């Protein structure tokens, strides 16, 4: 198995690079943001519980997020690998992910952290707002998402650095060039 985490602030290009990695390494994509949006659209009980948080750009409580993730892992036993996109966003989530991987006799092999400045992130999110229509794309909510990243999510980086799994990749520039650098990092641990 090859299990990857793609990490970075909102607007770093996680989704774009995930699509390319899925195709190349035959991975199963788990995006907690996409999963929450699906639940909200289908008005499931979980969707009703998380809407208030996601609409406002606030992290969904760990308990809810981790339970959903565990459910998705259990539904996908036997895949050749996972790419986690938007998860883990807290150290508790990272610890639980390690535990779940261990229980399945595997591990997280590499964490690809896309390095993009806060200024660039703001520019990209403002542009994306014109193309996509998300309920969390007003300026105030974008600010909140960026705040959550720098306050809570960034602490996940030293966690993985300590495990020797962190690969920082410059996320500014040509999409193909960035992808090439990510693949080199992954191939070095495979």
Instruction: Give the residue numbers marked as catalytic.
Output: 14, 89, 128, 134, 145
- Please report, to the nearest 10 degrees, the dihedral formed by the alpha carbons of residues 127, 135, 13, 81 taken in order: -160
Q: Which is nearer to ligand ADP, 147 or 187 (CB)?
A: 147
For residue 141, whether the previous peptide bond is cis, meaning omega lies within 30 degrees of 0, is: no
Query: Shortest Cβ distance from residue 187 to ligand ADP (Å)?
Result: 26
The Cα 83–Cα 25 span in angstroms is: 10
Contact status, residue 89 vs residue 8, Cβ threshold 8 Å:
no
Q: Which residue number, 41 or 188, has a Cβ lying nearer to ligand ADP?
A: 41
Q: Which is nearer to ligand ADP, 133 or 188 (CB)?
A: 133
Q: How far is the CB of 170 from ligand ADP (least distance, A)?
A: 19
119 neighbors 12 (Cβ within 8 angstroms): no
Interface residues with ligand ADP (CB under 6 A) are 10, 32-33, 36, 53-54, 57-60, 65, 86-87, 89, 93, 136, 145
- 88 phi and psi angles, rounded to 5 deg: -80, 150
Smallest separation (angstroms) from ligand ADP to the CB of 61: 7
């Amino acid at each position: 198995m090859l299990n990857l985490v793609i990490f970075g602030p909102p607007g770093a290009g996680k989704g774009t690079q995930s699509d390319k990695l899925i195709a190349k390494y035959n991975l199963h994509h788990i995006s907690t943001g996409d999963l929450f949006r699906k639940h909200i659209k289908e008005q499931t009980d979980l969707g009703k519980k998380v809407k208030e948080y996601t609409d406002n750009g606030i992290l969904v409580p760990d308990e809810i997020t981790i339970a959903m993730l565990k459910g998705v892992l259990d539904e996908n036993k036997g895949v050749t690998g996972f790419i986690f996109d938007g998860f883990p966003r807290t150290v508790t989530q990272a610890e639980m992910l390690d535990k779940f991987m261990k229980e399945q006799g595997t591990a997280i092999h590499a964490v690809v952290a896309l390095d993009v400045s806060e200024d660039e992130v703001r520019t990209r999110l403002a542009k994306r707002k014109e193309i996509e229509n998300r309920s969390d794309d007003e300026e105030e909510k974008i600010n909140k998402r960026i705040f959550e990243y720098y306050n809570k999510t960034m602490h996940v980086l030293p966690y993985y650095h300590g495990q020797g799994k962190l690969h920082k990749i410059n996320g500014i520039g040509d999409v193909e060039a960035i992808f090439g650098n990510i693949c080199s990092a992954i191939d070095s641990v495979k």
